[in-house]
Amino acid sequence: MSSEQPIDAGPGWEIDPETLRPRILDLDAFAHAFADDPHRDILIALHTGDPAAAHELITTKLQSDGGVRLRALLGDTLRDLGRHEEAITAYVDLVEECRGGPREAVMRQHLGKALFTAGRMAEAATEFEAALALRIDSGADPALIESSRRALARAQRDV
């Protein structure tokens, strides 16, 4: 286990510095922060360690919503279900779709996490580095920049 501090992700949740996976610490605070999020139920299932439930919810919602965010959540769910190649493919497609736009950094960060979970550390580090550069260049929230910086350092540790 790492002695590194968790990465603060917002009210009620954090990113584990070893696995780079989100986890909810305070369900009430998280639920309140995401009260208006149409995908809150998926996020709660995914971030409390129930990717099968998240996958079921996503499959239902994909029938009426094929948006980028829902497809990104599907990528995270596939990653957490151990379906690494499907998750990586989903994120490669999303990176291409979002290239040059405001969501590219997010998609690269999540592609990096899928590669990281699959044990492909050098490729993960490349994606985290790209996400970090995009976030710095766009003047992103300092917490997002720090998240990319820490993910990059974590992947590089195992390259």
pTM above 0.85, yes or no: yes
Compute the CA torsion angle 65, 28, 112, 84 (nearest 10 deg).
-70
Look at residue 138 and give its three-state secondary structure. Answer: helix
pLDDT in tens, 66-101: 899 999 999 999 999 999 999 999 999 999 999 999
Helices (H) and strands (E) in the chain, counts: 8, 3
Domains of the chain, by residue range, sit at: 7-157
pLDDT in tens, 1-36: 456 899 889 999 999 999 999 999 999 999 999 999
Q: Considering the domain 7-157 in this protein, what is its CATH number?
A: 1.25.40.10
